[in-house]
Amino acid sequence: DAGVIQSPRHEVTEMGQEVTLRCKPISGHNSLFWYRQTMMRGLELLIYFNNNVPIDDSGMPEDRFSAKMPNASFSTLKIQPSEPRDSAVYFCASGLGRQGIRTPSPTGELFFGEGSRLTVL
C-alpha cells in the first residue's frame, strides 16, 4: 500500500514567487496534517483537516499561507508570495481518526510523507 505522497521533493524559488506543495494521503485515512520543520523550531503544525474540513489553522504563519483539501485524496499548501524565511521542509501526514471505518493504526499514529524541501532565495 502506498504511503503519503508529496510533491515536489525539492523546490528552489525566488522571493515573491508562488509555491504550491501537494500531498496525497494514505487511502482510507480521514485526517491530514501539514507540518513545517526547521532546525530552530522543530516540527510545527500549520493546519489540519478532518474529513476534508479544515479544523485548526492557527499554526499558519500569516495570510501568505493557505491550504485546501478539495477531496479525500488530495491537499495543497500554497505560499504566495514566498519569502526567504519560509525556507524549511514541509511535511504532510495522514492518520485515522475516531470517525474512520478502518483501524489499520489503532494507536492513531501519524504517517508522514517524505517532505518537500523548500528554499526561497
Partner 1 sequence: GQNIDQPTEMTATEGAIVQINCTYQTSGFNGLFWYQQHAGEAPTFLSYNVLDGLEEKGRFSSFLSRSKGYSYLLLKELQMKDSASYLCAARNSGNTPLVFGKGTRLSVIA
x-marked contacts with partner 1 along 82-101 as a string, rule CB under 8 A: ---------x---x-xxx--
Of residues 26-55, those binding partner 1 (CB under 8 A): 31, 33, 35, 41-45, 48, 50
Give 35 or 65: the residue with its C-beta nearer to partner 1. 35
Phi/psi for 10 (5° steps) reads: -135, 140
Residues 6+ away with beta carbon under 8 Å from 18 = 78, 79, 80, 81, 82
Amino acid in the structure at residue 102? R
Binding site for partner 1 (CB under 8 A): 31, 33, 35, 41-45, 48, 50, 56, 91, 95, 97-99, 107-115
